[in-house]
């Protein structure tokens, strides 16, 4: 197999059921070289929103510092910040560093988008109500926890509710569902839709 130098490489195992194993080959990738110097060149005031995940800061100490600066710059510029923990334990030095780093970043976000399995690792519970309370207490204005086939559980400053999912007759592969969910929520918010409708779109795209 020939791989382009500097490319982000990720291979997915082939399985007949359940989720596949994912193998990462990211050392030396272009993304892993991102630095605070790169972030300093971004004109954050030209944007309205930034979406960050837990993958980029896992690639290197340089990217971790860069992402932390992105949070700070985005907050200073008044951007809406959404954050998906998107845990990749294989990419972190160890689990303690991962948990501390991810939760610190989540504390700087306006909207946090965890899953129940991520909650179990990051704060010790897979109960969506407890996960949402944890991240609300850290400072998030809204927390949207993905609860699989049930949909997504939302907690804001004034409301708490479940947005039901869409029925999927046969789940072939869940890889990408979380990213699709985030894309649905974010695009709907950027279009000015209410949060509940944004989460409904996220559920729809995640199901597809």
Nearest-5° angle of CA 98, CA 104, CA 106? 100
- Catalytic site includes residue 179: yes
The residue annotated as part of the active site, out of 38, 110, 127, 179, is 179
Compute the radius of gyration of the chain from its Cα atoms: 17
In angstroms, rounded to a whole number, what is the distance separating the alpha carbons of residues 149 and 59? 31
Q: How many residues does the chain have?
A: 208
In angstroms, rounded to a whole number, what is the distance separating the alpha carbons of residues 169 and 136? 34
Backbone angles phi, psi at 91, to 5 degrees: -90, -15
Angle between helical axes of 116-123 and 128-138 (0-180°, round to 10): 60
Cα torsion through 147, 149, 150, 153, rounded to 10: 30
Which residues are part of the catalytic machinery? 179
């Amino acid at each position: 197999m020939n791989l382009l130098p500097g490319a982000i490489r990720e291979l997915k195992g082939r399985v007949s059921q359940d989720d596949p194993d994912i193998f990462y080959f990211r050392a030396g990738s272009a993304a892993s070289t991102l630095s605070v110097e790169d972030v300093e060149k971004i004109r954050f005031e030209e944007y309205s929103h930034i979406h960050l995940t837990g993958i980029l800061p896992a690639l290197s100490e340089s990217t971790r510092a860069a992402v932390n600066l992105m949070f700070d710059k985005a907050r200073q510029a008044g951007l809406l910040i959404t954050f998906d923990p998107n845990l990749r334990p294989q990419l972190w030095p160890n689990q303690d560093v991962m948990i501390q780093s991810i939760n610190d970043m989540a504390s700087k976000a306006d909207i946090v988008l965890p899953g129940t399995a991520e909650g179990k690792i990051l704060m010790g519970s897979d109960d969506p109500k407890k996960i949402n309370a944890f991240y609300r207490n850290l400072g998030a204005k809204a927390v949207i926890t993905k609860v699989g086939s049930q949909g997504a559980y939302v907690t804001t400053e004034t409301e708490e509710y479940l947005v039901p999912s869409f029925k999927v007759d046969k789940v072939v592969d869940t890889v990408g569902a979380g990213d699709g969910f985030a894309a649905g929520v974010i695009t709907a918010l950027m279009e000015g839709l209410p949060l509940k409708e944004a989460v409904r779109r996220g559920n729809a795209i995640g199901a597809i």
